[in-house]
Amino acid sequence: MRHLISSLVAALSFAILACTTVPGDKTLLDFLGDGATTRETALFKLGEPSGTFDRDRILTYRIGSPKDGGYLLLHPHAAGTEYNWSAEPGVTLYSLVLVFDEKDILVKHSLVRVR
């Protein structure tokens, strides 16, 4: 009986956690400023990019925006739930594109909606 109760509690806990959505961070991208943000700062704040182009002058990141309007960083090589967020209803997907100059200063950034 004790084992049955423990199993039920574990199953219910898992079901509750599986149904909760991860809240978005409304300040995740606030540090980005064209002409001010360094490549080093972007890498420190956002981690490994999902893609690099033009000899690492352009970095791209996968970003999700849940219903609450914040942002979630979708890690490119992480296993598990990060990629499943895209299947969750109400999550809008974006590519964050960061373009740096030869001195590693951010020239332009944009969020491009992925369909």
Using a 10 angstrom Cβ sphere, with 0-12 exposed, 13-18 middle and 19 or more buried, the burial of residue 72 is buried
- The structural domains of the chain, with segments of one domain joined by +, span 23-114
In the prediction, which pLDDT does 14 show? Answer: 39
In the prediction, which pLDDT does 18 show? Answer: 40
Place of tokens 């030869």: 102
Amino acid at 67: K
Please write the tens of the pLDDT for every residue from 13-56. 333 334 445 678 899 999 999 999 999 999 999 999 999 999 99
Please write the tens of the pLDDT for every residue from 69-85. 899 888 765 544 444 44
